[in-house]
Amino acid sequence: MKSYKFITKDLDCAACGNKIQEKLSKVEGMENVIVNFGKLEIKYETDTYSKDQVEKMIQEIEPEVTLVEIPKNKNENIKNESKTNKNLFRLLLGILFLILGVVIKNNIISTVFILIAYVLCLFRTVKNAIKALKTSKEINENLLVTISCIGAYLVGEHLEGLMVIILYEIGKILEDKAINKSRKSISTLMDIKPEYANLKHETHVHKVSPDCVKIGDIIVIKPGEKVPLDGEVVNGSSSLNTSSLTGESKLTKVKEGDKVLSGSINTDGVLEIEVTEEYENSTVNKILELVENATDKKAKTETVVNKFAKIYTPIVICLAVFVAIVLPLFTSLNYSESIYRALTFLVISCPCAIAISVPLSYFSGIGKASKSGILIKGSDFLDNLKLVNQIAFDKTGTLTKGEFGVSKIEKYGSLSEEEILKFSALGESYSNHPIAKAILKNVDFNINIKEVENYREISGKGLEYTYQGKRVLVGNKELVEYNDSQNDCTKVYVKIDDEVIGAICLEDSIKPGVKEALDELRKQGIKTKMFTGDNLEVAKKVGEQLQIEEVKAEMLPNEKYSELEKMIEENKNGKVAFVGDGINDSPVLARADIGISMGGVGAGSAIEASDIVIMTDDISKIKDGINISKFTGRIIKENLIFAIVTKIIILTLSVIGVAGMWEAIFADVGVTLITIFNTLRILRR
């Protein structure tokens, strides 16, 4: 299966997008069909369907929609301005003829001008209605408006019929502009994608596509340029603007030996960077993929609303027919008056406000979070975030800095402290764990790692290797099978063959702002726990400092997993989140209701397994994410209640003759616009 992405040009209706998604999902050989705000993502075998075949299937539902391939090396900003301008010109011309038809007193000329106004204003709507009826045999909103306007003309309500279509067209144009505003707000994040890299050769530097740069190549970053790939500074110093990645405006100073992330902007000095990740695995590309696919997973609320919108219109159409036929039988109304009320009923029935308000709210919420350095992988995760009432934290690298310092080296045999440090460093040279980096910082002598053989990591315990024929274990006391009564620090034991020769004592410190962030979470009624593989004494000390309600220590990855499952089973009134940053956390992150990884320092596997990625080490972002989730949920409720209640009221009033076409237009176009502008509050918050 290969993944394809297209721009769905001229698709500006959420309900229609849902129909396309549903139809394509039923086609044999197609998988993971997602239609979201101008984008189609789909998987199928290369030789199964062509782009034209997929486009033809879509046009059976929405005749005007065409597919445009998204360029690989360029972010496409979806624009339909030319189409909007044509519709606006045609609408203004129709309004001009309407005014002339009203002003001119000659009945024949006035009638002709009114008819021309009808043709100009109804042209697009009638065209779409006929095509939809021919191809998919479905009644959509275009047909409802067409029937209402033509019906109003036939029963003598010429001006009201024209005002229906004019206000409808104005509403659609404003709706397009409001949605495009939301899209543009999100697309600012996509500007982090680098267009080129300055690849250094022995004698010169030239621009190449970031895709062409390999690991180990040297690239040059000039002032004002974006860092195109992840790497390590080998020459120069500068300040980097990482706001597009982390949401933080504070500049980060880097020098030789520091790691830099792609997507950052170099503000002053010239940097030479050795590339450590190809573009496909770079931070900037992962972020772009997360944001592009963020709304692909539908929240439960969104799914329910989509299903409701599908059955809503047919039910109201049946009721409109019932009104037209039955009212004259039981009231003094004639059929002309009852048909007018039924036509009003049809205009009110258009489900756009209901169909568009929920997905647009999630889209805006995810965009707002991404601008704050919080990447949420789907609307379902954004929806569930507000329900979190328990959070379990990993300790090292999450609550603490993960920057261990060697406090002392304990000797249990005849070998010196330097030899204990040497055997530990030989193994840790192959590891990226924070403990490994701390130990290596204390090595100021040469070690020959070429003599290390049969290296392997033992999950949750440590590592093993062979050196000059000797079996060496470096890790916790369970790995080396050593009973130590003193656990006042984190210890890394070294065992050669059958003898434990010593231990390296490490101490970590709590990250700035962590205590305040946890206090804020507790104020929101969230219970905090800590899961760690560290010894109990060290874990308790950290737990007491941070006032964490429950501390679980000396845990293996499978024990963390089991404990989290137990939490989820016992927690009936909310959701359980887990926050971690390491490779060992990946299974727990995947199992949690909401897995949150620390993207700034987190391992790639942890980021892949999580549902939410925080692009800094600042766990206060969790509170920000929860607040965004709650506000998004509140906006969705407001939109749904307002749209449904308004439609029910005006539907009822139309039946008894109080509400006419003007009120019907408000119930359709007016309500849609109000819900859209209300949704945009999420981005402005």
In eight-state DSSP terms, residue 598 is E
| Residue carrying the six token digits 């249990």 | 412
Q: Which two tokens stand for residue 51?
A: 């782009």
Q: How many Å apart are CA 57 and CA 430, to the nearest integer? A: 53
Residues 6+ apart with CB under 8 A from 329: none
Q: What is the 3-state secondary structure (H, E, C) of 256-309?
A: CCCEECCCCEECCCCEEEEECCCHHHCHHHHHHHHHHCHHHCCCHHHHHHHHHH
Tell me the HSE value of 342 on the side-chain side, using a 13 A CA sphere.
Answer: 23
Q: How many Å apart are CA 318 and CA 333, to the nearest integer? A: 20
Residue 619 identity (one-letter amino acid): I
Q: Please, which residues bridge with residue 272 across strands?
A: 220, 235
Tell me the HSE value of 229 on the side-chain side, using a 13 A CA sphere.
Answer: 29
For residues 401 and 509, is the Cβ–Cβ distance under 8 A? Answer: yes
Q: Beta-carbon neighbour count of residue 191 at 10 Å?
A: 11
Q: Strand 231-235 vs strand 205-208: parallel, antiparallel, or unpaired?
A: unpaired
Q: Nearest-CA neighbor of 273 among 284, 283, 261? A: 261
Q: How many Å apart are CA 387 and CA 626, to the nearest integer? A: 8
Q: Beta-carbon neighbour count of residue 211 at 10 Å?
A: 14
Q: How many Å apart are CA 678 and CA 681, to the nearest integer? A: 6
Q: Beta-carbon neighbour count of residue 146 at 10 Å?
A: 20
Q: Round to the nearest angstrom and report the end-to-end CA distance of the chain.
A: 41
Q: How many Å apart are CA 279 and CA 655, to the nearest integer? A: 62
For the annotated catalytic residues, the residue numbers are 394
In eight-state DSSP terms, residue 617 is S
In eight-state DSSP terms, residue 213 is -
For residues 350 and 313, is the Cβ–Cβ distance under 8 A? Answer: yes
Q: Please, which residues bridge with residue 268 across strands?
A: none
In eight-state DSSP terms, residue 669 is I
Q: Strand 66-69 vs strand 31-36: parallel, antiparallel, or unpaired?
A: unpaired
Task: State the chain's maximal CA–CA distance in angstroms.
Answer: 116
Q: How many Å apart are CA 208 and CA 198, to the nearest integer? A: 6
Q: How many Å apart are CA 441 and CA 445, to the nearest integer? A: 11
In eight-state DSSP terms, residue 584 is G
Q: How many Å apart are CA 38 and CA 416, to the nearest integer? A: 67
In eight-state DSSP terms, residue 110 is H
The alpha-helical segments, DSSP class H, found in 49-106 are 51-59, 81-103
The alpha-helical segments, DSSP class H, found in 372-500 are 379-385, 417-428, 434-441, 477-480
Please provide the size of the chain in residues: 685
- What is the 3-state composition of the chain as percent helix, strand, coil, each rounded to the nearest 5? 50, 20, 30
